[in-house]
Amino acid sequence: MRLDNCPAPAKLNLFLHVTGRRADGYHLLQTAFQLIDRCDYLDVEVRADGQICRTNEIEGVPADSDLIVRAARLLQSHTGSKLGANLTLRKNLPMGGGLGGGSSDAATTLLALNHLWQTGVQRDELTKLALQLGADVPFFLFGTNAFAEGVGEELQVLHTPDVWFVVLEPGVQVPTPAIFSAKELTRGTNPVRIADFSSDAKHNWKNDLQTVACALFPQVDAAIQWLSQYGDAKMTGSGACVFCAFADETAADTVLKQVPDRWTSWKAKALSSHPMAQKLGSKNIWLEASLTLK
């Protein structure tokens, strides 16, 4: 049994506020997660011998520390499954870009193996399991765009505009710990409500991590400054990628043609739901939760 071309979509943080810090050092956040149609892709083949194997090399990521391998082993341990898997990951999303690529890869691994191994883990249980892999992983199991709080695991359904994005890769990897540990980071932004964000699309919702990242990595600042001439450009996550929304694909294409050659750039369409839902069809774990999500 196998599933090929399983999508692991990127996310953008439409805003990201740091509202405090817990006693254990984790930061309290508020953010709006937006799924986009730029994806990594995962091929998953079931093994009968219980071994979890990544079949291809990924530069800078040893197999044992790869989130897809860790996710597979976590689900295997949690469920007691005797089956294993061959995992082949095709990366399109840059590492250290703030697009959630590793977290999304892990979530897609959990979704694919939960289906192929027939372990029957429901969404809520799978989400709690996923939090062990990283704060962003639960979002990619949520199934739709979300308003997030806590360390990113408290999620509410968020309806977002049907827009296109231009994304710039500034050519640097931004290490998340360096941003969150910076003494200059603002940690006291006043909390907002989901209704505030949903009803005030013109408000300049900011990314509290952006100022720190721009100071440490001038390449990020340069990309924001350039893209800002076309709209409200901002950094996603802890960086380094920069994005700006456009009403339609034509407008996005017009800006893409102007991007200087020193940056990798691409366009992406906003998604309203996770593309694995269609891939899994009637076995989709989100179907049972659909009444809650709507």
What is the fold, at CATH topology level, of the domain defined by 1-294?
Ribosomal Protein S5; domain 2 (3.30.230)
Active site residue 66: no
Active site residue 136: yes
Is the pLDDT assigned to residue 230 strictly greater than 60? yes
Q: Which of 40, 66, 105, 136 is catalytic?
A: 136
* Measured distance CA(228)–CA(232) in Å, rounded: 6
| pLDDT tens profile 233-273 | 999 999 899 999 999 999 999 999 999 999 999 999 999 99
Q: Which of 11, 234, 267, 279 is catalytic?
A: 11
pLDDT bracket for residue 186 (50, 70, 90): confident
Burial of 64 (0-12, 13-18, 19+ CB in 10 A): exposed
| pLDDT at position 291 | 47
Burial of 292 (0-12, 13-18, 19+ CB in 10 A): exposed
| pLDDT at position 294 | 46
Using only the alpha carbons of the chain, give its radius of gyration. 19
| pLDDT tens profile 109-141 | 999 999 999 999 999 999 999 999 999 999 999
Residue 54 near residue 91 (C-beta atoms within 8 A): no
Q: Where are the domains of the chain?
A: 1-294
Burial of 41 (0-12, 13-18, 19+ CB in 10 A): middle
| pLDDT tens profile 73-96 | 999 999 999 999 999 999 999 998
pTM value is 0.94
| pLDDT at position 203 | 56
